[in-house]
Amino acid sequence: MREYYTDLTIDVHVIEGERPRWPYLKEMLRLPAVVKKGRYDIVHAHFGLTLISTLLISAPVVVTFHGSDLLVNPTKHISRLLAPMASKVIVVAQRLKEHLGYGEVIPCGIDVKKFALPSCL
């Protein structure tokens, strides 16, 4: 998917996490070639395992950790090992920042306390 902004072009390359392991790994290994071909200025990766595919990328990498990538074995070990290689680390909750020890907290959801269900439900 490609979106165009005034002076900005954004491409989204999805690596489906629900795939079996081999196709998932295959897609991750393709990512450096996709980035090189696109000549991107920056790459934003979601979830810690995608950092594996960014090891061969020369562009700066921003990673967003969503939780399971920092809290579930064995993913959490890979994420913690590779996180320092990112140019910028984002976590979606304060507890993830506390678990990792650093990162910019940018929530990825809504504050459910600010919304209420209608009384008719």
24-64 tens-digit pLDDT: 778 888 888 888 888 888 999 988 888 888 888 889 999 99
115 in any annotated domain:
no
pLDDT: is 59 or 9 the higher one?
59
Residue 85 domain boundaries: 2-108
On the question of pLDDT at 97 being above 90, the answer is yes
Mean pLDDT of 11-24: 76
Q: How many domains does the chain have?
A: 1
On the question of pLDDT at 9 being above 60, the answer is yes
95 in any annotated domain:
yes
61 in any annotated domain:
yes
What is the CATH classification number for the domain harbouring 101?
Answer: 3.40.50.2000
pLDDT at 52: 86
Q: Cα–Cα distances in Å, from 52 out to 27, 64, 96, 108, 121?
A: 11, 14, 20, 22, 46
pLDDT bracket for residue 15 (50, 70, 90): confident
> Which of 3-7, 26-30, 43-47, 91-95 has the highest mean predicted lDDT (pLDDT)?
91-95
CA nearest to 104, candidates 63, 51, 68: 63
100 in any annotated domain:
yes
Average pLDDT of the residues of the chain: 85
Q: Is 45 exposed, middle or buried (0-12, 13-18, 19+ CB in 10 A)?
A: buried
120 in any annotated domain:
no
118 in any annotated domain:
no
Q: Beta strand 61-65 with 88-91: parallel, antiparallel or unpaired? A: parallel
116 in any annotated domain:
no
